[in-house]
Amino acid sequence: MRPSAVAVALLSASRGCSAIALRGRPNTLLNTGTTPRSLLQNVVTWDEHSLFINGERLMIFSGEFHPFRLPVPSLWTDVLEKVKALGLNAVSIYIDWALLEGKPGEFRAEGVFDYDAFLSAAKQVGLYVITRPGPYINAEASGGGFPGWLQRVKGHLRTSDSDYLAATDNYASNIGKIIAKHQITNGGPVILYQPENEYSGAVGVTFPNADYMQYVEDQARKAGIVVPFVSNDASPGGHNAPGTGKGAVDIYGHDGYPLGFDCANPNTWPAGALPTNWHVTHESQSPSTPYTIPEFQGGSFDPWGGWGFDQCYELINHEQERVFYKNNYAAGVTILSLYMIFGGTNWGNLGHPGGYTSYDYAAPIKEDRTLTREKYSELKLEAQFLKVSPGYLTATPGNSSVTGVYSPSTSVSITPLIGTNGSFFVVRHTDYQSTESTSYTLNLPTSAGNIAIPQLRGSLTLGRRDSKIHVTDYPLGDYSLLYSTAEIFTWKKFEDRTVLIVYGGPSEQHELAVKSSAKRWKADSGLTVAAKNGSIVVNWQTTTERRIFQVDDLQVYIVDRNSAYNYWVPDISASSSVIVNGGYLIRSASVSKATLSLRGDFNGTSTIELIGVPKGVSSLTLNGAVLPHVKNAQGNWESTVRYAKPALPIPELAKLDWKYVDSLPEIKAGYDDSRWVTADHKTSNNTVQPLRTPTSLFASDYGFHTGALLYRGHFTASGSEKSLYISTQGGSAFGSSVWLNDTFLGSWTGTDASSAHNATYTLPNLAAGKPYVLTVLIDNMGLDENWVVGPDEMKHPRGILDYELTGSSDSAITWKITGNLGGEDYADKTRGPLNEGGLFVERQGYHLPDPPLRDFAPSGGPTSGLDKPGVAFYAAQLDLALPSETWDIPLSFVFENNTAKAGGAYRAWLYVNGFQFGRYVSNVGPQTVFPVPEGILNYKGSNWIGLAVWALESGGARVPGFTLQAANPVITGRDKVQVVDAPRWQVRRGAY
């Protein structure tokens, strides 16, 4: 999501409205029992606390992942396994209509767009899926997921206007059938379905429009969707909550991005941003459904001219997870999805103009799929805890702003969740922005009465921007904790013992009490232990050394938080797991006969310790190879995984055999545009932009919705023309250049703030009676989203909005237009409708592998550059021989950011084996590093890379430096990556 300023204002207004609506709601809703309204199936059910799947109550802890932002199907499993290893049990996916129905009536979901394959992969990995196919998705996608041809629909988008509804039918029915097939009722992973997306605010049209929501829901039901409908109101507005009548969903949910998106100030947590009323609001809006947050801030987007995702990560980091996620648990959330868990890439022009190629999103899993962010590890601690704490699901959240009850200190606020199967006390700084360390003590109600904690010595501390969950009467199989101030990572009841792992921050004092009347126990040094009132109290100061406390067959492993990050809990079966201490990633564990098989990744030489190896197992394999082990003093297995960095022969791009072709032949004398589309529509269906030219020059009126646009304007001079006024629009950071014949008139080089630009260019003297041609090149940065219903912002046209040739009439110019070859009859069905734009080389397919080198000239490559404005295309074969069977090697193409060396503003499009994997804008930024996944690149063979370079200024431009760089290689247990099968160049009949 990405609320604009307008949208935010609107949301506040709509919040006001729904509060009024709520007061008028019938009472019956406020105390509904636990029986949901009639269901179409009995596998996924719910009550006011949580979902049940096949009768089992569980938390749905999910992360958002867009398969369309990782166009390598064989890598989907890699990401899914990284999600599962966190302890999450679901992924939530958007589906981008614009990529599946580029031409009205022709739905295609194959190859890199194969949702059938994606859903099968999720099932195989063992994750549930929440599907969100729109039709509107927002998602920082071009048009918010709407195909460009919706610009020609007169009706309001996202309303019950009949032409809009009719336009959605084909997509809804086709994608609905694919999802329906993979529902849990058919043995698949799909448990929930979200119709529409953030349907939360409108201007100038009926809202909420119950007929519209009902239509979208009916489309899904008609396609066979039987799982419950969930909503994602943009904020807690109560829209379409159960009981609101027509269009209501089964389970109400709202989104939340409380820290905002101000990556410019990554250390500033804005005041008043921590939501403390969400539980109360939920009780008033949807008391009979589980508290659901279908999108919670897992990172941040970043626009053109932004600060880069590393800086966004400083804002939305592990501390944000601690304070804000735990605040959600304090509100009793039991269906939660983080947006994003893995962001991916806006390859092939799929993004909206408010973002650049990277969609890393500062998510827990980086765009290059590495796991080096601390937030990945912090999330694992939280998710694994919730996974073993079923008592949380039925505990009742209390007031979240109370101080002085559970602690005498008013510097901390503690939200209680009181349950019958453990109670939970979520502590945060009263001033949640605090970067101070606060000392506090607790006064907690337990089955042994109110206890002042710590009992033995010291006090507790809450570090900067931290939050903790303390538990009382917490069950551990046959045991029970009276309380623990240290946080729980996991616990497991193994055949011979129960193991509990607790952690604390650096040097923190902690205390836990095990209910037991035992007189003997074992405690490592550094632990102070005393029996008190039927329990054994253990108190310690956290160090980096692991200490073990044992009573009967309960072993408590006491670690510091950074050490806890090293633990993994892969499931062996539905009812058994093994705990693995060590490794960069443990993907899975399985047992066959006497062998325990682990699959995992290692970024350095590592020891791994296995806790809870099942009885009868005697040998270990890692990624299919036998790994010797020894038993340590605790009876755990220990092994060493050796890491010897392989040789990585990364070719120097400057030394490749570069070829060159001019990609702006249009400005040459005699260029033949007879096969271009004539822009002759005298009217336009576009409802947001009045026509100011004799014929429409809106690209989408002619089927061109993506990438570069070219116009050719023919006229016969009167001789008195002095200047050309031209208004162009391409979206944030777009650029445009104009030529008269082969004379450069000027460019707009672009800024992030400008979606459109008006320019007046002085003309040379024209000869009366002679023909001339204007050539205009415009960068379409993607279509605007349509977040607010009514203004139809998605219809903001791309192209020429207006022009005036002084000394001539507007109608003296006859215009031709082109974008991608074929427009909606796009040439490359494999890479989809948006991947190619209208550059000459794209129309010819020269960006594809094996271009016809006879049409190219030898060249020094992109660093040699252009000495005048224009578009140059450089292509080279890149051979790789990398040890990718057992190594994951992230590769990125890197542009040197050096304005002086560049000599002028330029834009570049990077093509890798025909997939557009980067748009670089030298004068706007910020992205200079463009990761390209294996599978798009063939790591064991030859590749074709291409770079189209558009120099916008009079002196031309050159790419100062262009290199291929490898990040630290990781020994990997992932499945082999299959190179994406996509067509090579062949003659394109009719291409111009």
Ligand X SMILES: *[C@@H]1O[C@H](CO)[C@@H](O)[C@H](O)[C@H]1NC(C)=O
148 or 903: whose CB is closer to ligand X? 148
Q: Which stretch binds ligand X (CB under 6 A): 149-157, 504-512, 618-626, 787-795?
A: 149-157
User: Residue 163, interface with ligand X (CB under 6 A)?
Assistant: yes
Instruction: Using the Cα atoms of residue 182, residue 186, residue 188 and residue 192 in order, give the sign of their dihedral.
Output: positive
Does 603 bind ligand X (CB under 6 A)? Our answer is yes
With CB under 6 A as the contact rule, which of the stretches 146-154, 421-429, 524-532, 624-632 interacts with ligand X?
146-154
Find the angle CA(824)-CA(825)-CA(829) to the nearest 5 degrees.
Answer: 105
User: Is the Cβ of residue 506 or residue 955 nearer to ligand X in the bound state?
Assistant: 506
Amino acid, single-letter form, for residue 103 = K
Residue 684 beta carbon to ligand X: minimum distance, rounded to whole angstroms: 8
Task: Report the residue number, 122 or 167, with the smaller CB distance to ligand X.
Answer: 167
Q: Which stretch binds ligand X (CB under 6 A): 20-28, 111-119, 147-155, 658-666?
A: 147-155
What is the rounded CA–CA span in Å between residue 822 and residue 676? 10
Q: Which two tokens stand for residue 632?
A: 């340590």
Is residue 227 a contact partner of residue 44, using CB atoms and an 8 Å limit?
A: yes
CB of 700 or CB of 780, closer to ligand X: 700
* 793-823 residues labelled b (16+ CB within 10 A) or e (exposed): bbbbbbbbbbbbbeebeeebbbbbbbbbbbb
Contact 583, 568 (CB under 8 A): yes
How far apart CA 103 and CA 109 sit, in angstroms, is 13
Which of 66, 123, 132, 152 touches ligand X (CB under 6 A)?
152
- Please report, as residue ranges, which positions from 956 to 985 form the binding site for ligand X (by CB under 6 A): 968
CB 266 within 8 A of CB 465: no
Residues 950, 907: contact at Cβ < 8 Å?
yes
| Contact status: 645 vs ligand X (CB under 6 A) | no
584 binds ligand X (CB under 6 A): yes
Q: Shortest gap between Cβ of 796 and ligand X (angstroms)?
A: 17
The dihedral built from the CA positions of residue 68, 70, 75 and 81, taken in this order, carries a sign that is negative
Query: Closer CB to ligand X, residue 152 or residue 958?
Result: 152
Count CA atoms within 13 Å of residue 315 on its CB side. 27
Q: How far is the CB of 38 from ligand X (least distance, A)?
A: 37
What is the distance between the alpha carbons of residues 34 and 721, in angstroms, rounded to a whole number? 77
Q: Which of residues 25-44 bind ligand X (CB under 6 A)?
A: none
Smallest separation, CB 694 to ligand X (Å): 16
Question: Which of 35, 37, 40, 154 touches ligand X (CB under 6 A)?
Answer: 154
Tell me whether residue 198 is one of the annotated catalytic residues. Answer: yes
Closest CA to 688 of 210, 97, 150: 150
Q: Exactly one of 295, 609, 793, 934 is catalytic; which is it?
A: 295
Q: Of the two residues 163 and 825, which places its CB atom closer to ligand X in the complex?
A: 163
> Does 153 sit near ligand X (CB under 6 A)?
yes
Q: Is 200 in the site for ligand X (CB under 6 A)?
A: no
C-alpha torsion sign, points 176, 179, 182, 184: negative
C-beta separation of 10 from 203 below 8 A: yes
* 132 neighbors 197 (Cβ within 8 angstroms): yes
Please, which residue, 154 or 522, has the CB nearer to ligand X?
Answer: 154
In the complex, the smallest distance separating the C-beta of residue 970 from ligand X, rounded to whole angstroms, is 8
- Minimum Å gap between C-beta 376 and ligand X is 7
Q: Which is nearer to ligand X, 377 or 663 (CB)?
A: 377
| Residue 543 or 968 with smaller CB distance to ligand X | 968
Estimate the crossing angle of helix 210-222 against helix 162-181, to 10 degrees.
Answer: 40
Contact (Cβ atoms closer than 8 angstroms) between residue 489 and residue 564: yes
Q: Which of residues 360-379 bind ligand X (CB under 6 A)?
A: 371-372
Which region among 151-159, 173-181, 517-525, 802-810 touches ligand X (by CB under 6 A)? 151-159
Spatial contact of 362 and 78, defined as CB atoms under 8 Å apart:
no
DSSP at 871:
E
Identify the active-site residue in 198, 508, 666, 824: 198
What one-character-per-residue DSSP string does 377-427 give? HHHHHHHHHHHT-THHHHPEE--SS--SSS-S-TTEEEEEEE-SS-EEEEE
For ligand X, the closer CB: 163 or 553: 163
Which residue lies nearer to ligand X by CB, 741 or 968? 968
- Whichever of 104 and 111 has its CB closer to ligand X, that residue is 104
Under rule CB under 6 A, which residues in 721-740 are in contact with ligand X? none
Q: How many residues touch ligand X (CB under 6 A)? A: 11
CB of 267 to ligand X, least distance (A): 22
In 3D space, the residue among 153, 68, 306, 94 whose CA is nearest the CA of residue 794 turns out to be 153
Residue 303: CB minimum distance to ligand X, A: 29
Q: What is the 3-state secondary structure (H, E, C) of 171-208?
A: HHHHHHHHHHHCEHHHCCCEEEEEECCCCCCECCCCCC
Q: What does the DSSP assignment read for 514-576?
A: EE---S--EE-TTEEEEEETTEEEEEEE--SS-EEEEETTEEEEEEEHHHHTTEE--EEETTE
Residues 462-501 binding ligand X (CB under 6 A) are: none
DSSP letter at 167 equals H
* C-beta of residue 422 within 8 angstroms of C-beta of residue 391: yes
Tell me, what amino acid is at 3? P
Return the residue matching tokens 């529409």: 196
Chain-centroid distance of CA 914 in Å reads 24
The one among 604, 719, 852, 860 contacting ligand X by CB under 6 A: 604
The partner residues of 775 in beta bridges, in order of sequence, read 712, 739
Q: Between 371 and 653, name the residue whose CB sits nearer to ligand X.
A: 371
CB of 566 to ligand X, least distance (A): 8
Site membership for ligand X, residue 159 (CB under 6 A): no
Residue 685 touching ligand X (CB under 6 A): yes
Checking DSSP bridges between strand 814-818 and strand 707-716, what pairing results, if any?
antiparallel
Instruction: Kindly state the smallest distance separating residue 261's Cβ from ligand X, in Å.
Output: 26
> Min. distance of Cβ 152 from ligand X in angstroms?
4
d(CA 341, CA 79): 9
To which H or E segment does residue 62 belong? strand 60-65
Pattern 410-449, ligand X, x by CB under 6 A: ----------------------------------------
- The least CB distance from residue 584 to ligand X, in Å, is 5
Q: Rounded to 5, what percent of the chain is helix, strand, coil?
A: 20, 35, 50
| Minimum gap (Å) between residue 968 Cβ and ligand X | 5
Binding span for ligand X by CB under 6 A among 148-156, 534-542, 661-669, 933-941: 148-156
Site residues, ligand X (CB under 6 A): 152-154, 163, 371-372, 584, 603-604, 685, 968
Active-site residue numbers?
198, 295
